[in-house]
Structure 1
């Protein structure tokens, strides 16, 4: 990244964007504001055309969504675009004695941050950021689904409390029945033939429960008549169907993006660790991007906010805690991966048990597993090698 000579920071709002171009912190080339429309985009390009494209690095802070159209436009024109971690920009801001907060001052800070961090920035940050947006959308949908399922279970605890103890309420056939008859009270009055028709309509699958069983359980249920709760439950079930369909679409698009970005090899490398599947592997790659931008496993761990911080002053020594200053999305994925390998991978399970016998509580033992897993993954991706129990890949383990 050392070939760059012009560093352009951009701060974007809904109606306009401010740009500051520098060649060094002491040399500002131009500062200007442009409208967020085709005229503004073209005027910005005319400013940039004064310099060779391969000498220009354009960046913005990772926040909001207004930048996407501008960055797509610039990328199609073959400009180098990156999205900066807010902590990098904040570090520049903290060095300033006089605190100012305007769109132009923010653009200048971003330009300074680009200049400072130019040697460690990934060369394809925009593409990886776009991939990351997909992964984060999938994460958001899964969290919404989990919340919805919790709401559905709470509703059924009142409307048909016996049902969840007897069947999996999240099969399509049960949800379809509940969508039409959202309580034991409603099922009591439902024609048996109608219930049977809904159950038998589930394509290609034999239902685990019969219409007769549902009617029998409903007849003996303690659930009472709550029309408002029934209406709410029906809405939650429809929303769940919609979100599950969206989740499937986003997952397929995420897989396609992996193939187009030639990330499949990295996905397969991660999956060679038993306990890591397609989904967590894709999310990990989406958040990390190019592993070579981290000079050591410690840098990767710190980026995830899994590094410890200790407060000390004089003779006082505070307790060690996670910094949690890094990428919260990556931190969540790493935790899920650590749980997965402890359950399914004998090597990491034995390591977890050993740390527990040494006196570590559950969360600290899991954190130790997460650290070991990150060191292993770092070495694997760095050397493009699959998981091996001889651990000859990394001297850090």
Structure 2
């Protein structure tokens, strides 16, 4: 927000050199404090060996940094209170809702009523995943409806990352790309079988 304000001020007709200087100083202070806070987070996690190990499980996912993992764990209190992935995605605001009224049928969208900090923490990891994670890149390409609306598919990747983090945390294991690829392949085979069976029953 401060960067946006500085950018607007720099391109404003009326601007003050003193005000620009103050904005620059404010940004440097914020960046310094963010670094300090992240270091404090790392110390807190390292002081708890069990927590440290479980955070490492989440960091094994390509694209998930320490800060992203720690934020999700902190915002969910270590995934306590969730008995399944559906509850977790609903809490984060990734649950799908259908906008409709009477005979009107609208488009489906995510609710965004949940924890915005989790959604924010997973945005950049999702961007990274679709570039460097072959499994999630394939998933992204499959769910992307049109080239004009990539955000829909990106949100789907964020949701998948959150569910994956929940699974690794719960099972205390590292990310296994081969397991994910095999799981995706099995899903595609089952989907193809269902389509074939449906075609036979309707023919």
TM range (shorter): 0.7 to 0.9
Runs of at least 5 residues in structure 1 that lack an aligned partner in the other structure = 1-146, 160-225
1:294 pairs with one of 69, 79, 82: 82
Runs of at least 5 residues in structure 2 that lack an aligned partner in the other structure = 188-203
Are the structure 2 counterparts of residues 248 and 368 from structure 1 closer, same or farther at C-alpha, using a change threshold of 3 Å?
Answer: closer
Structure number with larger C-alpha Rg: 1
TM-score (norm 2): 0.76
Name the counterpart of 1:366.
Answer: 154
**In the alignment, structure 1 residue 269 sits paired with structure 2 residue 57:** yes
Name the counterpart of 2:16.
Answer: 229
Are the structure 2 counterparts of residues 380 and 153 from structure 1 closer, same or farther at C-alpha, using a change threshold of 3 Å?
Answer: same
**In the alignment, structure 1 residue 317 sits paired with structure 2 residue 108:** no
Once the two structures are TM-superposed, the CA of residue 321 in structure 1 deviates from its matched residue by 2.3
Q: Considering Cα pairs closer than 8 Å and 6+ residues apart, tell me whether 1 or 2 has the greater RCO.
A: 2
Q: How does 1:1-397 map to 2 (within 5 A)?
A: 147-157=1-11, 229-261=16-48, 262-312=50-100, 315-356=103-144, 359=146, 361-389=149-177, 390-391=179-180
CA distance in 1, matches of 2:163, 2:80: 13
Partners of 1:292 and 1:382 within 8 A in 2: no
| Aligned-partner SS, 2:180 | coil
CA distance in 2, matches of 1:288, 1:307: 16
TM-score (norm 1): 0.41
Give the CA RMSD over aligned residues. Answer: 2.8
Name the counterpart of 1:3.
Answer: none
* Structure holding more strand per residue: 1
CA distance in 2, matches of 1:312, 1:152: 41
CA distance in 2, matches of 1:392, 1:291: 25
CA distance in 2, matches of 1:321, 1:288: 23
CA distance in 2, matches of 1:330, 1:348: 19
* Structure holding more helix per residue: 2
Partners of 1:309 and 1:320 within 8 A in 2: yes
CA distance in 1, matches of 2:168, 2:182: 7
